[in-house]
Chain A
Amino acid sequence: MLSDNNQVSQIGKEKTTMRIRRRQVLSGSAAGAVSLATGLAAPAIAANEPIKIGYLPALTGPSSSTGVGINRGVQLGIEAINKAGGVKGRQLELIVRDTQSDPTKAVNAVSELTQRQKVSMIFGPVNSGEALAATPLIARDKVPMLHPCWVDELIDVKKYPMAFRQAPTNTQIGGGANHYVVDVLKLKKVAVISDTTGYGTASVNTYVPMLKAKGADVVYTNHIDAANPDLKPEMLRMQSAGAQVIMPWSVNAGFLSRILNTRGAMGWDVPVVGQTTLGSGQTKALLEKPEYWNKVYSNNFRKCCYVNGKLEPKTQEYLDQLKAAKIEFADTLLWWVALGSDAANLMADIFKNAGSKPEDIVKYMNQVKDWPGVYGTVTWTPQQHNGFPDSEVVMCEVNSLKDGAFNLAPGYAS
């Protein structure tokens, strides 16, 4: 999934500022996208009409902060490509339908995009809940689909042969955290807990066997009512079980902050390793003391993390372009925006090489190898439509947020 972990929802503000930001970015030249488009600005080919892309972000509603961040990158990327001449002389036309964080709205939008608008490709939905509802319909209508959602079941080359993922799966996310705990931190006694949501319980049930397979000793596991205001009993049980690290799986900032506050109040100096919400602004806002965010490591992505205080050159160049355009990162994360830009550039690359017929698009996508995005590298084969490499799923230090990106967690070989 791109799970429902809201950072800061400033949708109204977003709507009023997007236009200015896009222009600013365009005037500041988004070099990554432009360099791609420069090669594409060949003389017009047979058809000059725009290539239609159906786009299903959640721009409003309770799970929209991720979608709002991704939307910035998508819009910036598409506008930069079009400004530079489009794809072989054809403009890319985004047909945006806000899913409002509602699977029903996503389903209705799919029908319109595939049957009435006759789009060449669909990007999204960007939240797993909506993607679970929309993916079978997009597959039924035989439209190529690209999405960044994490739920494993969303990719199945037999059921959904035209669906491709540019982001990691939940299994990769859990695997990245498990790798960090067992192989990097060298900790063996692990407490794995979750809230009682479907996501939380499924994560624990999936990740605990993976941990055991890596040789970890899972000394405590439980599903906890996230509404419980006092987690001290649970923390004491973990402590007495000998846990050296806590792995909480939840997107509930209140629940996660209570774990961190209780750990701090107990003076228990164990690391907490888990999902991206651990590093969210909401979790930070609920901490009783800022230092309770120390030794907390959340999932992130190697290309969007600082290593020894520096980003990769390509990522730094991208960030500089965004900063030159005075893009604020107070309410979003670099990897969200970069993921959106990558999607725009990836789709432009696909149309350039494969045209806009569905079967040609899928044939080309099945052979994409090491496509170098800012957010991540993408490789697909006819048998594997999960495109994100394990090696780029990392953990970061949550208390190191700067310009929307975090420091790589300690212990990784850079």
Chain B
Amino acid sequence: MLQSIVSYGLAVGAVYALIGITYNVMYSASRVFSFTAGMLGMLGGVLGALFIQRMGLNPVLGFVMVLACGAVLGVVTEILTVRPVLKSIEQHLYVLSTLAFALMIQQVTAIEWGTEAQPFPTLFPPAEGWLDQKFWLPLLACAVTIGGLEFLYRKTLIGRAFLAIAEDSYAARALGLPETWLRIASFALAGMIGTLAGFTGAQMLLAFFGNQSILNFYGFVPVALGGMGSNRGAVIGGLALGLFQQAANFLVGGIFAAVAVFAVFIVVLLLRPEGIAGASTARRV
């Protein structure tokens, strides 16, 4: 039982964490919560199965194409659903625009791909227990992503430019930083991370259009738990969510597992509204 809780919990948690990071990367660049994160995750699985299983492409080429599609969708998201509403961000119109775009893509996927879950190709030789790709692949993807982002943000000039935009976009623009291009790049990066989450988790979650709403929802929980904009918090929150969810499956089961997860989520937010790793913000008086 313990092995099942830990292996499934960490693997699912890693997928949630990656979706949480996707939210964060888009949020940092635009102050917009784009509800396209789940869509990207769903497409990671569907496009992976399409390219590798159905079209018979080499897995490496298929993987690269999935990430490329994610990047393109990220850019399209920025242009179509985020940029037009940035000027009136306080009205939160982005909720509608991003959600509408995500639902549109989901419907197209349902029509073209089908409404039934479909298998995702086995990329590595089948193995037992922890060595099965469905357990270690999402964890590896999560580790590589968080490591890569840390390197990008702390060691590279472009990464620092991203942080500058996230910190204060007006000041960054005054310094001559190309805010629009950096935002586009952030959304492209988020698109790649989102599809990576779906691709690596598809052995568990299957290539299924309905994964969008699940990932949108459960991917948001680590962001809220970990603190908005905090990637480390999202990883901790995601893994904790996965483990708790799986433990609840064993202990209470059925639909009560989901109830248990959200009960704890609400309690945590009541006790610490800024999230586990989020910083309290001072209010001007």
Contact = CB atoms under 8 A, between A and B. Distances in A.
Nearest to A193: B254
B161 interface: no
B117 A286 contact: yes
Nearest to B254: A222
Nearest to A9: B114
A234 B250 CA distance: 8
B48 interface: no
Nearest to A7: B116
B231 to A, nearest CB: 24
B177 interface: no
Interface in B191-221: 204-206, 208, 210-211, 214
Contacts of A234: 249, 253-254
Contacts of B249: 228, 230, 233-234
Interface string A214-238: 0000000011110111101110110
Nearest to A287: B119
A285 interface: yes
Nearest to A251: B116
A252 B110 CA distance: 14
A254 B116 CA distance: 7
A311 interface: no
B122 to A, nearest CB: 9
Given A196-B255, A225-B255, A6 B118 contact: no
Interface in B66-122: 110-111, 114-119
A62 B115 contact: yes
Nearest to A60: B111
Nearest to A101: B115
Given A6-B114, A228-B249, A285-B118, A254 B254 contact: no
Contacts of B210: 227
Most chain B CB inside 10 Å of its own CB: which residue of A61, A254, A285 = A254
Contacts of A285: 118-119
B156 interface: no
A253 B114 CA distance: 12
Contacts of A225: 254-255, 257-258
Contacts of A223: 254-255
Contacts of B117: 252-254, 257, 282, 286
A292 B186 CA distance: 45
A62 B206 contact: no
A229 B205 contact: yes
Nearest to A282: B116
B206 A286 contact: yes
B244 interface: no
Contacts of B246: 230
A100 to B, nearest CB: 10
A286 B4 contact: no
B215 to A, nearest CB: 10
Given A62-B110, A224-B254, A234-B254, A282 B118 contact: yes
B187 interface: no
B258 to A, nearest CB: 6
A225 B8 CA distance: 16
Interface string A231-264: 0111011000000000000001110010000000
B12 interface: yes
A229 B249 CA distance: 11
A233 B116 contact: no
A9 B110 CA distance: 12
B211 A233 contact: no
B257 A228 contact: yes
Given A233-B253, A257-B117, 5 more contacts: A62-B111, A222-B253, A229-B8, A286-B119, A286-B206
Top 5 closest pairs, chain A to chain B, by CB: A254-B117, A62-B115, A229-B204, A233-B250, A222-B254
